Chains A and B, each alone.
Chain A
Amino acid sequence: MSALFIVLPLALLVAAAAVAAFVWATRRGQFDDLETPAVRVLHDDVD
């Protein structure tokens, strides 16, 4: 059970990494327009 003292903080660190990734993506504007990219990807092979 004493492994918890290491594993739990480690798990929280992983969560913190995920949050950091989310913050980074948001600041880069990845969530600004949620509709158009979904449509655009369908047309990539048409040209």
Chain B
Amino acid sequence: MPLSAERAIDRVECTHCGLDVPIALRVEGSAEAFCCAACRTVHAAIHAGGLEAFYRLRADDERRQAVVSGRSYLPFDEPAFHARHVTEAADGTRRARLYLEGVHCGACVWLVERLPQVLDGVCVARLDLRRQVVELAWRPERVALSRIAATLDGLGYPAHPWAEERRDALRRHEQRTQLIRIGVAGACAGNAMLIAFALYGGALEGMDPLYRSFFRGLSAGLTLVALLWPGRVFLRGALSSVRTGVLHMDLPVAIALTAGTAWGIANTVRGVGEVYFESMTAVIFLLLVGRWVQSRQQRTAQDAVSLLFSLTPATALRRAADGADEEVAVESLAIGDRVRVRAGDEVPVDGVLVDGASDLDLSLLTGESAPIAVAVGDAVHAGTRNLSAPIVVEARATGARTRAGQLMQQVERFARERPPLVRLADRVAHNFVIVVIALALATAAMWWPVGADTAIERAITLLIVTCPCALGLATPLALLAAIGRAAERGILIKGGEVLERLSRPGRLWIDKTGTLTRGELRLTDWRGDAELGPLIVALEREVRHPVARALVAHFGDAHGAPAAVERSHAEPGCGVEGLVDGRSVRIGHPQWVGERSSAPRWARRMTAAIEGRARSPIWVAVDGRVRGVASMGDTLRPEAHDALGRLRRLGWEISILSGDRRAVVDAIARDLDVGVERAQSEATPEEKVAQVRRSGSARARRPIFGRDRSIVMVGDGVNDAAALAAADVGVAVHGGAPASLSAADVFLRREGLEPLIELVAGSRRVVDVIRRNVGISIGYNVVAGTLAIAGLIDPMIAAILMPFSSLTVVACSYRSRTFGEER
């Protein structure tokens, strides 16, 4: 194809990130080109700091488009902020931790840690790559924290306060304690095993009783250390299990360990019978490893959550009595304040527009896909975005009292109320405890006629060999492996139970704007002269309105000489007009363009047809004549139809839940074969919650392997946040509002519906892996338990079976492909 060949030659790479540079942003004769303003800013900042080595350090596959918030970090200097997040060291420096967006590779570590060279007054900057947290120390008399944060922002790492300071310290302590326990238990187990080999040899070939007692005595010592230091957690767990009456895996473990150790020591002293010291130390070690894996998985999940609650306080421009604007934290705004909202900014308060006129993007608050024109006297809401011109808003409600704020409070409430899932492993554990203890008693009773010694030994052997090492590893390992793999694929999962819930197909509510559709205006249809392209691009390039962006995106690649704009004027809510190459051009709403231009009959007919399909028509007039008509709409994602089909085949019932107008939603439902009766339109956030809760009212919690259906909500906006929190599983999609992120259990970082399918299919595979793991470990316990009851087991067989079953489970968890490309 000649066209694509031509494009390949034409391709210009962004100097910073390597993405294609759109034609509109190319500069003739310049060695540098940038795909976006953020990349340009970051590139300039890196040069200004003399940090070009960054580009050498970075591997090609680590290039990413830059993110720069360009926000003011002034709230970082306020005393309230310092009281919460900043500590003062003895040498007069201040210390704080900031979470950095955009940190992802080794070169980022280098760049961030060069901060002391770039900014005078910064003493230390140390980055933790995995958690994306930088530890800063600086001299307050030489540099302000806001300046440091702004510099990091300029380098492409927008900074947020790390809200988890205190819990962090606790957690670090907990993590270290766990690691020490594992180390000690591992050393004891290894040495006990070495000594056991000598004992096995002695059992086969004969051994002087003196040496036998010596070896047994030493391993008894090792076991005592393992039991009383790292093994204490099980004893404590068993005690609380007895006290609270909740059967817990720790109970049989503690009984087996104490009884086994006591019996082994007695046998050692008496010089008779068998000892199981090596198996018991191995049990302690393996169970601790299982526990560590589980808490690691929970930590990853907690990090994801706490991060979302630590988003930076936003600022607003308050208009003072003398008419000047001052930048203040949004929290300090009061009712009656006048706030200036620039084009592109988010409205910070609920209020009334008192000056200016513009278009607002309501999509995140209401789900409405088309921008709304507002003028003086209109009500505006926090959480909407001002698109075309600056406006002044008088606040009527602020903070938690705004509509968006109330929604967020609901989100928190639902998140608290969500009933906990009885996890597969817990259900198994409950029954396991009862069965094992009953079997041990039965074994003792059965062998009692043969002799008290034999009976007690058999019962204790049973308890030791059925210690649930593999069972303790079965679930956490599978979940940790899956969550890690999912994260690599751009699917962030906040906890293991989410996967268990998602494995049970039920009803899936899906938001329309931004989820099924792209969430942005696109040109869906065009009729007019081809030569208009350069004129349109020239005029609309500088306009920030979504219609302008859609037009530039469509015509940006058009061929032809670029046109020169002599003058232009944007009329908020109407369109833009200007003089391009000596011709007067008007682009905008048909009524406004029609005021000064004549429209041919085909244009009027097409306009009526576009409106009939619930899309927005745009007229392009040149020299007083309408020469082109464009249809603007939020278009369906190309993969949406297929994706819903595959979800249905996986057993999910699909319904659409949207805040957009009926005509738009119904048209999309028809396109997707969802059925208009399953598509709810014009739903307020409260109605969305009600719908989700109603469908979940049949939710039952059954004790064992319950097959109850899950209610899942997929969405992206503030209007979805409460519904996300109310559902069994809330899934936030790429590009969503921060509010929806904090309410969701899963965040899909990749665009489109593909990751949603991967998530659902992957969850099912994870639960299969868990079931298989549980099956393996129970199977092992049945075999080992039977042998123990029959008296056919000896310490060597027990010592071989124990790690073998655990290794099988480990191998199964890491070999199985849960997330990734479909095979």
Chain B associates with chain A:
yes
- What is A's interface to B at a CB cutoff of 8 Å? 1, 4-5, 8-9, 11-12, 15-16, 18-19, 22-23, 26-27, 29, 31-33, 35-36, 39-40, 42-43, 46-47
Contact of A36 among B53, B127, B179, B190 (CB under 8 A): B127
Which of the residues B110, B184, B191, B214 comes within 8 Å of A12, measured between beta carbons?
A: B191
- Say whether B180 contacts A26, CB under 8 Å: yes
Shortest beta-carbon distance, B221 to chain A, in Å?
8
The answer to whether residues A19 and B172 also contact, given A26-B179, A39-B129 and a CB cut-off of 8 A, is: no
Separation of A24 and B172 alpha carbons in the complex (Å): 15
A17 to chain B, nearest CB (A): 11
A12 in contact with B218 (CB, 8 Å): yes
Which of B113, B114, B175, B218 is within 8 Å of A9, CB to CB? B218
The yes or no answer to B57 lying at the interface (CB within 8 A) is yes
- For the complex of A and B, list the 6 residue pairs with the smallest distance between their C-beta atoms, beginning with the closest: A39-B106, A36-B129, A43-B110, A22-B183, A19-B187, A35-B130
Indicate whether B448 reaches chain A with its CB closer than 8 angstroms: no
Q: Which of A12, A18, A43 contacts B57 (CB 8 A)?
A: A43
A43 CB contacts on chain B under 8 angstroms: 57, 106, 109-110
Which of A5, A27, A46 has a CB less than 8 Å from the CB of B180?
A: A27
Q: How far is the CA of A9 from the CA of B109 in the complex (A)?
A: 46
Say which residue of B130, B184, B187 sits within 8 Å of A33 (CB atoms).
B130
Q: Are B57 and A29 in contact (CB under 8 A)?
A: no
Q: Is the pair A36, B128 in contact by a Cβ cutoff of 8 Å? A: yes
- The majority secondary structure among interface residues of chain B is helix
Give the residues in chain A near B211, CB-CB below 8 Å: 1, 4
Q: Which residues of B contact A (CB under 8 A)?
A: 53, 56-57, 105-106, 109-110, 113-114, 126-130, 172, 175-176, 179-180, 183-184, 187, 190-191, 195, 208, 211, 214, 218, 222
Interchain CB contact under 8 A, B214 and A36: no
Q: How far is the CB of B170 from chain A (nearest CB, A)?
A: 14
Query: Hey, which chain B residues are within 8 Å of A42, CB to CB?
Result: 57, 106
Interchain CA distance A47-B53 in the complex, whole Å: 8
Give CA–CA (A47, B113) in the complex, Å: 11
B130 touches A36 (CB 8 A): yes
Bound-complex Cα distance A27 to B195 (A): 30
Contacts of B180 in A (CB 8 A): 22-23, 26-27
**Contact residues in B for A9 (Cβ distance below 8 Å):** 218
Q: Which residue of B lies closest to A46 (CB)?
A: B53
Residues on A with C-beta less than 8 A from B126 are 36
Please determine whether B127 and A31 come into contact, CB atoms closer than 8 angstroms. Answer: no
> B175: which of A19, A32, A35 is its contact (CB, 8 Å)?
A32
Tell me the smallest distance from the CB of B59 to a CB of chain A, in Å: 11
**With A9-B218, A33-B128, A36-B127 in contact, do A23 and B109 touch (Cβ < 8 Å)?**
no
27 A–B contact pairs at CB < 8 A?
Answer: A1-B211, A8-B195, A8-B218, A12-B191, A12-B218, A16-B187, A19-B183, A26-B179, A26-B180, A27-B176, A29-B172, A31-B176, A32-B175, A33-B129, A33-B130, A35-B128, A35-B130, A36-B128, A39-B105, A39-B106, A40-B109, A40-B113, A42-B57, A42-B106, A43-B109, A46-B53, A46-B56
With a cutoff of 8 Å between Cβ atoms, the chain A residues found around residue B129 in the complex are 33, 35-36, 39
